[in-house]
Amino acid sequence: MPDIDLDSFRKDGYHLLPGRLGADDQRRAVELFDSLDAADEVPASYEAEYDAHGDERRLRKLRRLLWNDPQMWGPMLNRAGVPDLARRVIGDNAAVVFHAAFLKAARVGTEVALHQDQALWTYSYPKAFSVWIALTEVSPRNGGLFGCPGSHANGEIKHQERPHYPWHASLDVAGDGLAEPVQFVLSPGDGAMWDRYFAHGSAANTSDEDRRGMVIVFADAGDPDFAAKDSFALSSLTALGSR
Ligand SMILES: O=C(O)CCC(=O)C(=O)O
């Protein structure tokens, strides 16, 4: 797996991660998400959110994947080399604080408005960064994923509630003086990582194909200000092995 260029990550606020997750792991993840999408009821432990259009209701987000099934997800994240990224960016005290699926169903999946993750979190997560892994093709055709280079540089920007968008407060490229977003065009198994203050989002999926991905967020659990609802130590993650 190619190493990351930490200087360019720190400068731009994001870094692309080609070829992280193998085909078998992609298939296992998608099969689980398909089965939960088809179920009448998803276990409450996934804290599921849905998109709906007419009679069609499809999963939008599933949370706490690693906590729901460490034996499935731990080895998969280890095979994707995710702990090494956490060690490089944060150090040995890194811990997973979120692991979620972002599912943007064909024709039904709605936008994720431009935001900085840290602005939406209940806790301040020192040194936090996200690793987002594509489980399908990801491009503007199916809603994609994009972010504004350098938008992390000055820390948190004030987000505003907007009447047309129900999920959370958001940013505006022009109104907040951000650089034009770059699109992350990804193949299944490719990833992107970004800083907690990096502004990013995605558009509605008007195509006939699902756009799927999952995100793992690490923070510095060794920082005196660290507090979290869920926290999975890097050592516990790596102890789950890679087979
Ligand atoms: O997958 C998406 O569409 C958005 C992802 C996102 O906002 C996040 O991981 O914080």
**SS3 category, 203:** coil
Taking 90 as the threshold, does the pLDDT of residue 117 lie above it?
yes
pLDDT of res. 70? 98
Taking 90 as the threshold, does the pLDDT of residue 2 lie above it?
no
For ligand 1, whether the C-beta of 240 sits within 6 Å is no
Instruction: Confirm if 142 and 211 have CB atoms less than 8 A apart.
Output: yes
Instruction: Confirm if 210 and 151 have CB atoms less than 8 A apart.
Output: no
Cross-strand bridge partners of residue 134: 213
Smallest CA-to-CA distance from 81 within 155, 131, 14, 8 is with 131
For residues 114-123, give the mean pLDDT. 97
In ligand 1, the atom with minimum distance to the C-alpha of 202 is 3
The phi and psi torsions of 135 (rounded to 5 degrees) equal -110, -5
CA atoms within a 13 Å half-sphere pointing along the CA-CB vector of 146: 21
In ligand 1, the atom with minimum distance to the C-alpha of 130 is 9
For residues 98-114, give the mean pLDDT. 97
For residues 43-55, give the mean pLDDT. 95
Atom 10, ligand 1: residue with shortest CA distance: 117
Percent of the chain with pLDDT over 70: 100
* Averaged pLDDT of the chain: 97
Substitution site in 33, 60, 102 for ligand 1 pocket (most atoms within 8 Å of beta carbon): 102
Q: How far is the CA of 234 from the centre of ligand 1 (A)?
A: 22
For residues 18-42, give the mean pLDDT. 97
Token digits of residue 7: 């200087």
Taking 90 as the threshold, does the pLDDT of residue 122 lie above it?
yes
DSSP state of 70: H
For residues 210-218, give the mean pLDDT. 98
- Parse the chain into domains and list their residue ranges: 6-239
162 to 14, 159, 200, 208: CA distances (angstroms): 26, 9, 16, 28
Q: How far is the CA of 240 from the centre of ligand 1 (A)?
A: 26
Position 38 confidence tier, pLDDT thresholds 50, 70, 90: very high
Measured over the CA atoms of residue 178, residue 179, residue 183 and residue 184, the dihedral's sign is: negative
In ligand 1, the atom with minimum distance to the C-alpha of 117 is 10
Taking 90 as the threshold, does the pLDDT of residue 1 lie above it?
no
pLDDT of res. 191? 98
For ligand 1, whether the C-beta of 117 sits within 6 Å is yes
Position 151 confidence tier, pLDDT thresholds 50, 70, 90: very high
For residues 114-138, give the mean pLDDT. 98
Instruction: Confirm if 25 and 214 have CB atoms less than 8 A apart.
Output: no
Q: What is the CATH number of domain 6-239?
A: 2.60.120.620
Instruction: Confirm if 129 and 96 have CB atoms less than 8 A apart.
Output: no
For ligand 1, whether the C-beta of 112 sits within 6 Å is yes
Substitution site in 62, 104, 114, 215 for ligand 1 pocket (most atoms within 8 Å of beta carbon): 215
Task: For 195-208, write each residue's pLDDT tens digit.
Answer: 999 999 999 999 99
Q: How far is the CA of 146 from the centre of ligand 1 (A)?
A: 9
Token digits of residue 203: 């558009």
The phi and psi torsions of 137 (rounded to 5 degrees) equal -60, 145
In ligand 1, the atom with minimum distance to the C-alpha of 115 is 7
Task: For 152-187, write each residue's pLDDT tens digit.
Answer: 999 999 999 999 999 999 999 999 999 999 999 999
Q: How far is the CA of 201 from the centre of ligand 1 (A)?
A: 6
For ligand 1, whether the C-beta of 132 sits within 6 Å is yes
